Amino acid sequence: MQKLHVIKIGGNVIDNSENLHRFLKDFTALKGFKILIHGGGKVATQISESMGVSANMVDGRRITDIDTLRIVTMVYAGLINKNIVAQLQRYGTNAIGLTGADGDFIRATKRPIKTIDYGFVGDLSDKSINPGNISKLLEAGFTPVFCALTHDGEGQLLNTNADTIASALAVALSTLYETTLIYCFEKKGVLQDINDDDSLIKEINPERYEKLKTGQIIHSGMIPKLDNAFAAISCGVKSVIIGHSDDLGQLKGTQTFGTRLTN
């Protein structure tokens, strides 16, 4: 079974051109099949505000009304996605920039209204990803670069969490490839002390994860990231790594970096 790396980069990498270029060089050097997923929340927020549209966030999640959806479509699928694709072409990766609507690769459902109306936000299921179509791209020599947009099959684009997309892609493609899911952001990995970069937790299993949550070592935005990661492992993904974008180049042979999540 061939190897596949599914890699998600955070906004802090995208926002810093030097970090982004370093990451994209390391990404290009990574052998075998690979998929890149990105968001771009900070840029979307800045452009929204410049256009007089206030960003509305609840628990780190963006409320996506129709004006916000238009802006994130322009920013995610246009400005950020095509810049990343152009830079990858420069470094020798034959990248192709995509939303979930392209090729019917990722189909979502609009999040139902419960206590909060999130607007045009998409939720994924175990039927959302079309692994056969994505595999055709990989086998043809293309490297997919997905932004955080999906569609509902009825003509509606939906803003969808990039971490969730990465996890869903890794799970769906693990039936075809030996898949490693990697979350790259601005920290070395999961830290015992968020203010101490040297307090890296190198391995976490589900039992330790529960203890870290109970002790408030892991909290806020890191919880959905790790929930997605452990769900991916339980569904066939070989391993999940969370680490600094600058350290991706260490991923050679049997070497690893950041925090590795295990069963």
Can you give the pLDDT at residue 42?
A: 82
Q: What percent of the chain has pLDDT over 90?
A: 72
Q: Cα 76 vs. chain centroid, distance in angstroms?
A: 13
Average pLDDT over residues 13-35: 93
Average pLDDT over residues 227-233: 88
Going by their DSSP bridges, the two strands 95-98 and 143-146 should be labelled as parallel
With b meaning 16 or more CB within 10 Å and e meaning fewer, what string describes 31-47? Answer: eebbbbbbbbbebbbeb
Binding site: residue ranges?
40-41, 62, 159
Q: Are 131 and 172 in contact (CB under 8 A)?
A: yes
Can you tell me the distance from the alpha carbon of 109 to that of 121, in angstroms, rounded to the nearest whole number?
8
Can you give the pLDDT at residue 198?
A: 87
Binding site for substrate: residue ranges?
40-41, 62, 159
Architecture of the domain defined by 3-261: 3-Layer(aba) Sandwich (3.40)
Domain locations along the chain:
3-261
Read off the pLDDT of residues 76-119 as tens digits, 9 standing for 90 and up.
Answer: 999 999 999 999 999 999 999 999 999 999 999 999 998 999 99
pLDDT at 255 > cutoff 70? yes
Can you give the pLDDT at residue 254?
A: 67
User: Please, which residues have CB within 8 angstroms of residue 161's CB and are 6 or more apart in sequence?
Assistant: 39, 61, 148, 224
Average pLDDT over residues 225-235: 88
Q: Which residue has the higher pLDDT, 58 or 97?
A: 97
Can you give the pLDDT at residue 34?
A: 98
pLDDT at 60 > cutoff 80? no
pTM of the model: 0.93
Can you tell me the distance from the alpha carbon of 200 to that of 179, in angstroms, rounded to the nearest whole number?
24
pLDDT at 253 > cutoff 70? no
User: Please, which residues have CB within 8 angstroms of residue 40's CB and are 6 or more apart in sequence?
Assistant: 11, 14, 72, 75, 76, 79, 80, 147, 148
Average pLDDT over residues 117-138: 96
Can you give the pLDDT at residue 131?
A: 97
Lookup result for tokens 């109306």: 117
Query: Could you tell me which of 243, 141, 225, 112 has the C-alpha nearest to residue 184?
Result: 243
